Structure 1
Amino acid sequence: MDSKSLLLAAKVLPVLVIERVEDAVPLAKALVEGGIKVLEVTLRSDAALGAIEAIRANVDDAVVGVGSVRTEAEWHAAVAAGAQFGVSPGCTTALADAVSKGPVPFVPGVATPSEAMKMAEYGFEVVKLFPATVVGGVGLLKAMSGPLADIKFCPTGGVGPANAKDFLALPNVVCVGGSWMVDNANIRAGNWLAITEAAKQAVEACTL
């Protein structure tokens, strides 16, 4: 599945910081139970790669990717761990060269029209706008929808239940990313029912 199809199917992409590998499988199952099957595990903890491996091995209904990718080495390590797609906060030339060569879908991060155009030159159909609400949010995306109509976006950063539909109503937005449905306190406490309920609410908040 290409990145556009993947994110169109997702609508909401949870940004997961998993601190303990043992939390990965029950967290993924809780999110899937709540209707969220496409998951982004960020490289913000030492447990990230192990978490990706565990989810791939034990949660058949989940599509698990890696987030916060910044280097070619991180990308190759994540793919080796089983990542089915990748996301970055921004994108250097070196990283774009690396991720555009393989079959695994990748969503590079951008913050400006020039960066979006550069990623389009590499063949990326979908880019991540980050940090979305800081760099212009809905207004910026509306402005870009005319001259950059062929580029689709996954805004992340400051997106939540109060504004998710505003983003998703735009013709150039295929998905939104956020972490509001995965409260760290619930993860640490193993309160998976609460996360399932939060996932259901997130899906509802992102349904037009």
Structure 2
Amino acid sequence: MIRSLREQPFLVVLRPSPLDWSVETFDQAPLLCVINQLVEAGVHHIEIAWTPHCRWGELICWLRDRYPALRLGAASVTRREALEMVIDLGMAYAMSPCFDPSLLRLARRHGQLLVPGVFSPSEVQQAVAFGCELVKLFPAATVGINYLRQLSAPLSPLPCMIAAGGLTAADLDPWLAAGYHALALGRGLIEGEKLDQSLLSWLG
């Protein structure tokens, strides 16, 4: 995963809406319009937020069949039920907004990559002690771009860090230059029905 993020240092996080679940087949879902544009633009990493909806697993299988080259992950994994589904589906990776040792132990037993969320220096230190090589700083916009530099002096060496929460495509260059390994960007990348031009320019 770290190697893949070096090649393209951002992920797009998408949350299915009630309209996405109401369609008979997923090719009619509004979410598909977004994903099609992202794939056509050359985006490599897309996370679908986990929900307890009965069709979530069906959606993941459908997307994987349609976009076999896409690195498809699960976002918002905060409970055992969600992680077990991710494991059963054999997904490339999962992300959590929090640091939960019990979930990390379960993921490791099954060889599943689970990237924990961290916020405080204590959580960063705990993640390092747990052997996590990749973590997600969430919510990143709250602590600001200089947070990584402030952490590095007392806690170095730090794990690779994905900045997530409140960031846009315009933040890619400054945050990457500040030392973050990658950024997680949300559905704010869609303006109306089109991708944010800043992302297209960055990819171009």
CA contact (8 A) 1:128 1:155 kept: yes
Return the match for 2:4 from 3, 6, 12: 6
Question: Shift of the alpha carbon at 1:156?
Answer: 0.5
The residue correspondences of 1:52-71 to structure 2 (distance < 5 A) are 52-71=60-79
Quick check: 35-44 or 20-29, which moved more?
20-29
Decide whether aligned partners of structure 1 residues 7 and 203 sit closer, same or farther in structure 2, where only a CA change above 3 A counts: farther
Which residue is 1:31 aligned to? 38
Question: Shift of the alpha carbon at 1:29?
Answer: 3.1
Quick check: 151-160 or 19-28, which moved more?
19-28
Decide whether aligned partners of structure 1 residues 161 and 26 sit closer, same or farther in structure 2, where only a CA change above 3 A counts: closer
Question: Shift of the alpha carbon at 1:41?
Answer: 0.5
Displaced runs of 4+ in structure 1, greater than 4 A? none
Q: Tell me how far apart the structure 2 counterparts of residues 32 and 143 of structure 1 sit (CA, whole Å).
A: 36
CA contact (8 A) 1:53 1:82 kept: no
CA contact (8 A) 1:64 1:84 kept: yes
2:156 match: secondary structure:
coil
CA contact (8 A) 2:10 2:185 kept: yes
Question: Shift of the alpha carbon at 1:79?
Answer: 2.6
Question: Shift of the alpha carbon at 1:103?
Answer: 2.3
Q: Tell me how far apart the structure 2 counterparts of residues 204 and 145 of structure 1 sit (CA, whole Å).
A: 31
Decide whether aligned partners of structure 1 residues 126 and 203 sit closer, same or farther in structure 2, where only a CA change above 3 A counts: farther
CA contact (8 A) 1:43 1:49 kept: no
Percent identity between the two aligned chains? 21
Q: Give the TM-score of the pair, scaled to structure 2.
A: 0.83
Q: Tell me how far apart the structure 2 counterparts of residues 164 and 174 of structure 1 sit (CA, whole Å).
A: 10
For structure 2, the residue ranges without an aligned partner over 5 or more in a row are none
> Over alpha carbons, which structure has the higher Rg?
2
Q: Tell me how far apart the structure 1 counterparts of residues 109 and 184 of structure 2 sit (CA, whole Å).
A: 25
Which residue is 1:142 aligned to? 149
Which residue is 1:175 aligned to? 182
Q: Tell me how far apart the structure 1 counterparts of residues 172 and 184 of structure 2 sit (CA, whole Å).
A: 9
CA RMSD of aligned residues (A): 2.3
- 1:67-121 per-residue CA deviation (whole Å, 9 max, x = no partner) reads 0000122111123234210000002221122123332322110001211121122
Amino acid of the structure 2 residue aligned with 1:166: P
Q: Looking at both structures, which has the greater relative contact order when contacts are Cα pairs under 8 Å and sequence separation is at least 6?
A: 1
The residue correspondences of 1:118-129 to structure 2 (distance < 5 A) are 118-129=126-137
Aligned residues: 192
Amino acid of the structure 1 residue aligned with 2:177: A
For structure 1, the residue ranges without an aligned partner over 5 or more in a row are 187-193
Decide whether aligned partners of structure 1 residues 119 and 204 sit closer, same or farther in structure 2, where only a CA change above 3 A counts: farther
CA contact (8 A) 1:110 1:130 kept: yes
1:177 match: secondary structure:
strand
Quick check: 148-157 or 98-107, which moved more?
98-107
Q: Give the TM-score of the pair, scaled to structure 1.
A: 0.81
Decide whether aligned partners of structure 1 residues 55 and 141 sit closer, same or farther in structure 2, where only a CA change above 3 A counts: same
Amino acid of the structure 2 residue aligned with 1:12: F
Decide whether aligned partners of structure 1 residues 48 and 168 sit closer, same or farther in structure 2, where only a CA change above 3 A counts: farther
